[in-house]
A and B are shown apart, each in its own frame.
Chain A
Amino acid sequence: MKAKFLVPLLLFFGLVGFLAFGLTLDPREVPSPLIDKPAPQFSLARLDQPAQSFSLKEMQGQVWMLNVWASWCVACRQEHPLLVQMAKQKIVPVVGLNYKEVRGDGAINARGMALEAETAMAIERARRWLTDHGDPYVLSVLDIDGRVGIDFGVYGVPETFLIDQNGRIRYKHIGPITPEALKDVLIPKIEELRRAS
């Protein structure tokens, strides 16, 4: 065996070292531009009392989470039991942002539907879903047309934003919350924020 023929193998092992290390990094951690910025202001109708609206001010002074959900979202169903459990254990208050309840659902053609009719339908569907699966939310608000979702940079449901006492977004979780993500990331971050105040 001549040494020069080992060169490709050695180069390859060097590459493998980097690739193995790469696996421990998370490229998706490239942060949302909104991290550490004040959460976008909004005022939306509450699901339980549509006549009343909810805005960020009401959560001032506490660490809380904004969870984006919809009844048509398959992955939300996956994370929901965990949210219900979190609510039982009173880990952190969670506000639900019901996102495009009607027009986001592929089974319904919402084009041309009057806004009132769409809102009524959204309330009906969303409430039924929470009755069926449990309501882990302090309250939910209705983002019928998805405009607030756009402000928050939502590109898929579910997404969860962790917001601090001063109304700043401190963390964004994309996709369903897993028990590991809750234990290893979210809870430590929540505790850190609470200590900081």
Chain B
Amino acid sequence: MIPELGHFALILALVLSLVQAVVPLVGAQRNSMALMAVGRPAAQGQFFFIVFSYVCLTWAFIQSDFSVQLAASNSHSATPIMYKITGVWGNHEGSLLLWAMSLSLWTVAVTVFSRHLPDAFLARVLGVLGMVSAGFISFTLVTSNPFERLLPAVAEGRDLNPLLQDPGMIIHPPLLYMGYVGFSVAFAFAIAALMSGRLDAAWARWSRPWTTIAWVFLTAGIAVGSGWAYYELGWGGWWFWDPVENASFMPWLLGTALIHSLAVTEKRGAFRSWTVLLAIGAFSLSLLGTFLVRSGVITSVHAFATDPKRGLYILALLVIVIGASLLLYAMRASKLTGGGSFAFVSRETALLGNNVLLTVASASVLLGTLYPLFLDALNLGKISVGPPYFEAVFVPLMTPVVVLMMFGPFLRWKDDDLVAAVRKVAPAFVASVLIGFGSAWAVDHVTWRTVLGLTLAAWVVLASVQLLAGRFKERAGASVGARLRSITAAWWGMWLAHLGVGVFIIGVTMVGSLDQHLDVKMKEGQHAELAGYTFVFRGAVDADGPNYDAARGIIELRRGERLLDTLTPEKRVYRAQGMPMTEASLDIGVFRDVYVSLGEQLADGAWIVSLYYKPFISWIWLGCVLMGLGGVFAAADRRYRRLAAREAAAAGQRVAASA
């Protein structure tokens, strides 16, 4: 009964999303307040029914109702409750429902926080979001109904994929989806602006916080996903250029460009058509990512059920949503030229340069991801594109991005003197190069990659310090507190996020240059050495969990005579699917991780043990945290709230005047 209620609620949500997609748009066109006002309750009602539907599905999982096909295939009565709940989105149907739910959540957030927007504009935004929502809910209902019954019911379920039975997987998909789907708001704002022909600084200002928050979610989601891959897949890698990872990375790159482009449009009125295109592009790549993951066009380690019918449906959705918006863009963009002019040497140029580079980077990831498909389609054979391609493309593209990223903030808007600007940053730049060579030499690893990475990282850090110092000097004479207060949250956001990039580069460079790895055969009492550490194998014990059998290795981590940690990697076999899994064990430190995973047991009782030494790896995620924090600061800037209040007041006056 409850699954049927959920199914019915989802159908109601679809009906409401259609209402939301049509009525407010008609209202905006006819200038009818009554019709426009339908958007808000429709969006909120839709949210209610989707959440209700989602709760019903979760209930089937919690209750181990194996007459529901999805629960039977992805849950098990012995699965811990936490993974019963997260199992709901560990599969195709459930993750679509999560997608629809987060879209609906964003829409409701727009209805709540954008009361000050002009009615016609808000109506159009809600209409666009309603269309996307209708597309996805109908996709779910028609091709991937999560409430499908399995009759007669089975006695026991197949359990959730053991890889996904992990705390990281509890938060990774919701964060990622919030980010992906969040770009729909920037997209809807852009489309609404194109429809109304009103693409001005106000539009950019309204879009900015939404875009930034979506970007923060996406950053966090990607970081958590990569952290999960690092400790769960058992071989210490943190990024694999897997198609599914790329699907989230492409919108991130374009979203980063969009954030910066919006800044220019807001401040200087420039780049308007470019900003609109980026807004369409970021969301299109989110949709494309969904297509790639869901259609089975590209194989990936992320095993989701694939079905060509679904692929066709998403492709049709893609054609309608992206095709229509690009057509609208083609029709309206010629009106968007103009805006503040700027000289070649100016902050605008630096931002434009980086936007172009980020877009090219995004395109190159797209190319690498789809290249096997292109070749296959042209009958040129089956190949796969691996990390060497992406690394070869990425390093040369990102190097100028990082240089420009720190140079831009030293430049003035509109026009600046190149010689003076270069003179300002030259000492930091030269020092960075010296630090790059010096530190590579100090760690005894002078390769061009290490030198380049460390130079860039030093450049980011030194330039950040110089920027902050410069900002501090602006108000010489004022107290330290007053000087700090005079810096806006938005500026701190920019500063932190850029610094985060530097920290990230340190992590990537160090782990890429200096990590060490050793596979050894160990018997009880034997020891191995790696990177100055001693690993003593104290045998393996049984450590069965609720839904798996496991052997747990006991390994002492020593430095000289001192015991640092006892590591307990596990080899698990999940009973329902008979699937073996390795659970790595880590000794996490600021400057290095020691990472141990347990391999197979040999006939003579010895175990294969993999030992890894990963210098500075946590800096990768520390960098991501700083970037995300920067986004939070930027979105929390007071001026958005002040402006919102002022615009609301102005709107109130207009109403009063017309009355």
Say if A and B assemble together. yes
Interface residues, chain A, CB within 8 Å of chain B?
1-2, 5-6, 8-9, 12-13, 15-16, 18-25, 27-28, 30, 72-75, 77, 99-100, 103-111, 146, 156
Q: A1-B330, A30-B299 are in contact. Are A18 and B373 (CB under 8 A)?
A: yes
Contact of B326 among A12, A19, A73, A109 (CB under 8 A): A12
Which of B81-89, B151-159, B202-210, B388-396 makes up part of the contact surface?
B151-159
> With contacts A2-B334, A5-B333 known, what are 12 further pairs, Cβ within 8 A?
A1-B334, A12-B326, A15-B370, A18-B374, A22-B376, A23-B297, A25-B373, A28-B296, A30-B299, A104-B578, A106-B156, A107-B155
The 8 closest A-B pairs by CB, nearest first: A106-B576, A106-B575, A9-B326, A22-B297, A5-B333, A27-B299, A104-B578, A5-B330
Is the CB–CB distance between B158 and A74 below 8 Å? yes
Residues of B within 8 A of A99 (CB): 578
Residues of A within 8 A of B327 (CB): 9
CB of B605 closer than 8 Å to a CB of A: no
Contact of B156 among A22, A72, A146 (CB under 8 A): A72
Residues of B within 8 A of A2 (CB): 333-334
Is the CB–CB distance between B323 and A105 below 8 Å? no
Q: Considering the chains assembled together, what is the distance between the CA atoms of A25 and B298 in angstroms?
A: 10
Q: Report, as a range, how many residues of chain B touch the other chain.
A: 35 or more
Which of B140-148, B308-316, B490-498 makes up part of the contact surface?
B308-316
Q: Shortest beta-carbon distance, A170 to chain B, in Å?
A: 20
Q: Considering the chains assembled together, what is the distance between the CA atoms of A31 and B152 in angstroms?
A: 35
Q: Considering the chains assembled together, what is the distance between the CA atoms of A67 and B303 in angstroms?
A: 22
Residues of B within 8 A of A27 (CB): 296-299, 376
Q: Shortest beta-carbon distance, A113 to chain B, in Å?
A: 11
Is the CB–CB distance between A23 and B308 below 8 Å? yes
Q: Shortest beta-carbon distance, B298 to chain A, in Å?
A: 6
Is the CB–CB distance between A28 and B299 below 8 Å? yes
Residues of B within 8 A of A24 (CB): 308
CB of B124 closer than 8 Å to a CB of A: no
A111: nearest chain-B partner, CB-CB: B549
Contact of B318 among A1, A16, A74, A100 (CB under 8 A): A16
Is the CB–CB distance between A106 and B323 below 8 Å? no
CB of B106 closer than 8 Å to a CB of A: no
Is the CB–CB distance between A74 and B330 below 8 Å? no
B337: nearest chain-A partner, CB-CB: A2
Is the CB–CB distance between B575 and A25 below 8 Å? no
Q: Considering the chains assembled together, what is the distance between the CA atoms of A169 and B370 in angstroms?
A: 31
Q: Shortest beta-carbon distance, A118 to chain B, in Å?
A: 13
Is the CB–CB distance between B319 and A106 below 8 Å? no
Q: Considering the chains assembled together, what is the distance between the CA atoms of A71 and B155 in angstroms?
A: 11
Is the CB–CB distance between A25 and B156 below 8 Å? no
Q: Considering the chains assembled together, what is the distance between the CA atoms of A22 and B306 in angstroms?
A: 13
Which of B12-20, B54-62, B71-79, B641-649 makes up part of the contact surface?
B71-79
Is the CB–CB distance between B159 and A12 below 8 Å? no
Is the CB–CB distance between A25 and B544 below 8 Å? no
Q: Considering the chains assembled together, what is the distance between the CA atoms of A16 and B513 in angstroms?
A: 40
A28: nearest chain-B partner, CB-CB: B299
CB of B218 closer than 8 Å to a CB of A: no
CB of B331 closer than 8 Å to a CB of A: yes
Is the CB–CB distance between B377 and A74 below 8 Å? no
A5, A22, A111, most chain B CB atoms within 10 A: A22
Is the CB–CB distance between B315 and A105 below 8 Å? no
Q: Considering the chains assembled together, what is the distance between the CA atoms of A15 and B377 in angstroms?
A: 12
Q: Shortest beta-carbon distance, B27 to chain A, in Å?
A: 27
Q: A27-B297, A106-B159 are in contact. Are A19 and B291 (CB under 8 A)?
A: yes
Q: Considering the chains assembled together, what is the distance between the CA atoms of A24 and B329 in angstroms?
A: 31
Is the CB–CB distance between A106 and B547 below 8 Å? yes
Residues of A within 8 A of B157 (CB): 74
Q: A18-B370, A106-B547, A106-B574 are in contact. Are A5 and B334 (CB under 8 A)?
A: yes
Contact of B382 among A13, A22, A30, A103 (CB under 8 A): A30
Is the CB–CB distance between B298 and A106 below 8 Å? no
CB of B618 closer than 8 Å to a CB of A: no
Residues of A within 8 A of B319 (CB): 16
Q: Shortest beta-carbon distance, B360 to chain A, in Å?
A: 14
Residues of B within 8 A of A20 (CB): 315
Is the CB–CB distance between A74 and B315 below 8 Å? no
Q: A9-B330, A19-B291, A74-B158 are in contact. Are A156 and B323 (CB under 8 A)?
A: no
Q: Considering the chains assembled together, what is the distance between the CA atoms of A104 and B158 in angstroms?
A: 10
CB of B653 closer than 8 Å to a CB of A: no
Is the CB–CB distance between B377 and A18 below 8 Å? yes
Q: Considering the chains assembled together, what is the distance between the CA atoms of A2 and B78 in angstroms?
A: 62
Residues of B within 8 A of A107 (CB): 77-78, 155-156, 575
Residues of A within 8 A of B312 (CB): 23
Is the CB–CB distance between A106 and B377 below 8 Å? no
> How would residues 346 to 387 of chain B score, 1 for a CB under 8 Å from any chain A CB and 0 otherwise?
000000000000000000000000100110110000100000
CB of B193 closer than 8 Å to a CB of A: no
Which chain B residues (114-168) contact chain A, with CB distance < 8 Å?
150, 154-159
> Can you identify 19 A-B contacts, CB atoms within 8 angstroms?
A5-B273, A5-B331, A8-B281, A8-B330, A9-B329, A12-B322, A12-B323, A18-B370, A19-B318, A21-B377, A22-B298, A72-B576, A74-B154, A75-B73, A104-B576, A105-B156, A106-B547, A106-B576, A109-B544
Q: Shortest beta-carbon distance, A44 to chain B, in Å?
A: 17
Contact of B575 among A8, A74, A105 (CB under 8 A): A105
Q: Considering the chains assembled together, what is the distance between the CA atoms of A19 and B316 in angstroms?
A: 11
A21: nearest chain-B partner, CB-CB: B377
A8, A28, A77, most chain B CB atoms within 10 A: A8
Residues of A within 8 A of B296 (CB): 27-28
Residues of B within 8 A of A106 (CB): 76, 78, 156, 159, 547, 574-577
Which chain B residues (508-553) contact chain A, with CB distance < 8 Å?
542, 544, 547, 549
Q: Considering the chains assembled together, what is the distance between the CA atoms of A172 and B324 in angstroms?
A: 42
Q: Considering the chains assembled together, what is the distance between the CA atoms of A20 and B291 in angstroms?
A: 11
Is the CB–CB distance between B575 and A103 below 8 Å? yes
Residues of B within 8 A of A104 (CB): 575-578
Is the CB–CB distance between A74 and B72 below 8 Å? yes
CB of B185 closer than 8 Å to a CB of A: no
Is the CB–CB distance between B76 and A13 below 8 Å? no
B542: nearest chain-A partner, CB-CB: A111
B299: nearest chain-A partner, CB-CB: A27
Q: Considering the chains assembled together, what is the distance between the CA atoms of A60 and B49 in angstroms?
A: 60
Q: Shortest beta-carbon distance, A28 to chain B, in Å?
A: 6
